[in-house]
């Protein structure tokens, strides 16, 4: 995939105006945006419809974790909005993942991604919620990725550190979307399991999700180009 197509910019804002301003600043250079729970709750689905109408790909990061019928309904709603990717939480089990995949079938462009382990979690955090016997967080990521593959998901969301092992398990066709990405020398914020754009894609990621490196930069367009340059080296 061409580098620009691998970059998803996270619109992690609490109001639509800030999101619109960033999209305008990036213009034609950025093709894909992530909309998460904060912005969706604050501004509603109108922003998503407008981004799709402008020809942008939208990664709707809902992290769905509900009974299968509710998950299916949310996926159908996402498909009706025209989004390209939607997330379901793999720790909900095969039932909700399979329901999400089935609900996405009438929407040919919609891909269902299974969130494995959020990038802020460690092996100790997993033990606190009863997931024990792991030698590393990677064990749980790979276990959940296999469940997601068996349920028919199109790919997974995981940290850059697991991109390589995931590619080996899931093969060439799976989507591997990696948040927790920052430019070399930058702090990754709350992302404990982090990496650079180049490191993530070299390891096997199909896409990188970039947040503060671009959205909080003095010149977001220049920062976006730095991310692209890091992917190209």
Q: 201: burial class by Cβ within 10 Å (0-12, 13-18, 19+)? A: buried
Tokens describing residue 6 = 């691998």
Question: What's the chain's length in residues?
Answer: 233
Is 56 an annotated catalytic residue? no
For residues 83 and 57, what is the distance between their CA atoms, to the nearest angstrom?
7
Q: Quick one: which of 121, 80, 114, 81 has its CA closest to 99?
A: 114
> Which residue's structure tokens are 């896409």?
207
H or E element at residue 85? strand 85-89
For residues 153 and 167, what is the distance between their CA atoms, to the nearest angstrom?
14
Angle at 96 between CA 94 and CA 101, to 5 degrees: 90
**Under 8 Å between Cβ of 202 and 176:** no
Residue from 63, 111, 198, 207 carrying the catalytic annotation? 63
**Under 8 Å between Cβ of 97 and 88:** yes
For residues 152 and 13, what is the distance between their CA atoms, to the nearest angstrom?
32
Catalytic residues, by residue number, are 63
């Amino acid at each position: 995939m061409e580098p620009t197509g691998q970059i998803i910019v996270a619109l992690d804002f609490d109001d639509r105006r800030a999101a619109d301003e960033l999209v305008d600043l990036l213009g034609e250079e950025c093709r894909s945006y992530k909309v998460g729970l904060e912005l969706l709750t604050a501004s509603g689905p109108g922003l998503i419809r407008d981004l799709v109408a402008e020809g942008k790909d939208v990664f709707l990061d809902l992290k769905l974790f509900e009974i299968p019928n509710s998950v299916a309904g949310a996926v159908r709603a996402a498909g009706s909005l025209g989004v390209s990717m939607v997330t379901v939480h793999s720790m909900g089990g095969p039932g909700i993942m399979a329901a999400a995949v089935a609900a996405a079938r009438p929407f040919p462009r919609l891909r269902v991604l299974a969130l494995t382990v959020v990038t802020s979690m460690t092996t100790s955090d997993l033990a606190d919620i009863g997931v024990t016997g792991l030698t590393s967080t990677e064990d749980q990521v790979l276990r959940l990725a296999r469940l997601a593959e068996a349920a028919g998901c199109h790919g997974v969301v995981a940290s850059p550190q697991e991109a390589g092992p995931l590619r080996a398990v899931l093969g060439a066709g799976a989507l591997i979307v990696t948040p927790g990405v920052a430019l070399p020398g930058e702090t990754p914020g709350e992302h404990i399991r982090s990496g650079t754009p180049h490191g993530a894609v070299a390891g096997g990621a199909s896409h990188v999700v970039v947040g503060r490196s671009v959205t909080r930069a003095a010149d977001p367009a220049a920062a976006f180009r730095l991310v692209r340059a890091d992917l190209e080296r």
